[in-house]
Amino acid sequence: MTLDLARPRPSDILVTYRIETAGDPEFLATKIASDQSTGTFVDLPGETPELKARAAARVVAFEPLDGSHVPSLPAKGATFNRAKATIAYPLEAIGTDLAALTTVALGGVWSIKEFTGLRVIDLKLPSEFDGLYPGPQFGIGGSRRLTGVYDRPIIGTIIKPALGLTPDETAHVVGELIASGIDFIKDDEKLMSPPYSSLEARVKAIMPLIRDHEQLTGKKVMYAFGISDIDPDEMVRKHDMVAREGGNAAVININSVGMGAFLFLRRRSSLVLHAHRNGWDLITRHPGLGFDFSVYQQLWRLLGVDQFQINGIAAKYWEPDDSFVQSFNDLKKPIFHDSDRPLPVVCSGQWGGQAPETYRRTGQTVDHLYLCGGGVVSHPGGPAAGVRAVRAAWEAAVAGIDLEEYAKSHPELALALAKFGSKKPVSEGI
């Protein structure tokens, strides 16, 4: 069939899909538009031409693709057709509710049986969404103001539940990290409120150290406590507990709590909301299914994520470097305004060794939180030496000095290179 492409209207929501089918991709593009708006191809009682003209989604762009656009190839002997199609959904049919948007334009399309692959690769929202949702409360500027770091990456580390630390033991490690000049510490996403280390006990053990250090030095280390909870009221109670003790940040496992609960928290929050995208790999790892990060991240930015974890160069997980770089660039682009940009969080197996490549691949910017787990706490000289090693690596990266050369006058960096660099791949075991 030959598509009769429509023209998009300024108020349309534009969603681009990469489709794969053994059938006719042009037909299936029109079927997405029909099934996800005014119904089936069969005229129904009450389905008037006026209704269709007002509420029907329309195909506004279509481009056949070859197999090179999808890394996973079909089974031997199978023949699949691939294409990229953009569907315009009328705002009048969907409105500005993100639950409606995800149900109609994003959620239901995978149930269409003729598809062998379907991936949402782009989303453009009309100006009617501008200002409707709260967006980041702190973002890049607020994170820098609260940490007092302006001319380099914010350097952070993680308290891992695998260590099995009690609240007092955690506080001991935190005390050493604070003294080292660390900017940011967070609970691991898996560390919420287990019996051996309840959130309340951790807050009461850690916050006095942070307050005392602030009084002595003027620097307040940002500690993001894990407050995720399936009950939005309980999550707000945890938020209030952290805020009462002088805390200024919280880790939220966004896919576990869901968009509605996150918005409920954001509207009541006084804390920097640090998003861990747990479970994200389930909806993106297969290249022919799910979402591109460019689509996914827009929803959470509208809802109010301040800091967004996106893996990093030579990450310890599956994500390739190019994917990380694209995610970093996605977060740099405003949706409507510069104020809706969250702080990118470079993480997953990071240590100082990836600093030069991170700096180069992200456009020579230092506007991010550089988050190291074992790259700090597993340093052979201890966590404080780990912090100094990472800072030295970033000094060298920004100055364009080779790390090995810079390490000659920075012993903590030399030890890090010996442990994490020469003996194993940069992402292994960190």
User: Is residue 353 located within the same domain as residue 377?
Assistant: yes
- Cβ-in-10-Å burial (0-12, 13-18, 19+) of 204 comes to middle
Nearest CA to 428 among 372, 355, 373, 349?
A: 349
pLDDT score of 54:
73
Structural domain including 223 reads: 139-421
Residue 148 clears pLDDT 60, i.e. is over it: yes
134 in a structural domain: no
pLDDT score of 2:
74
6 in a structural domain: no
User: Is residue 111 located within the same domain as residue 174?
Assistant: no
Q: Are strands 249-253 and 272-276 parallel, antiparallel or unpaired?
A: parallel
| pLDDT (tens digit per residue) in 200-241 | 999 999 999 999 999 999 999 999 999 999 999 999 999 999
79 in a structural domain: yes
User: Is residue 70 located within the same domain as residue 158?
Assistant: no
Residue 427 clears pLDDT 50, i.e. is over it: no
The domain tally of the chain equals 2
| pLDDT (tens digit per residue) in 232-276 | 999 999 999 999 999 999 999 999 999 999 999 999 999 999 999
32 in a structural domain: yes
Domain containing residue 113: CATH number: 3.30.70.150
User: Is residue 99 located within the same domain as residue 226?
Assistant: no
Specify the pTM.
0.93
pLDDT score of 280:
93
Nearest CA to 17 among 73, 60, 78, 74?
A: 60
- 231 Cβ partners below 8 Å, 6+ apart? none
Q: For residue 127, what are its two tokens?
A: 């100006």
User: Is residue 202 located within the same domain as residue 108?
Assistant: no
User: Is residue 201 located within the same domain as residue 285?
Assistant: yes
Q: Where does the pLDDT of residue 110 fall: very low under 50, low under 70, confident under 90, or very high at 90 and above?
A: confident
Domain containing residue 243: CATH number: 3.20.20.110
C-alpha torsion angle, residues 183, 185, 189, 191 (rounded to 10)? -170
The mean predicted confidence, pLDDT, of the chain is 91
Domain-ending residue, one of 103, 129, 155:
129
430 in a structural domain: no
Lowest mean pLDDT among 54-68, 184-198, 237-251, 389-403: 54-68
167 in a structural domain: yes
Residue 424 clears pLDDT 50, i.e. is over it: no
pLDDT score of 332:
97
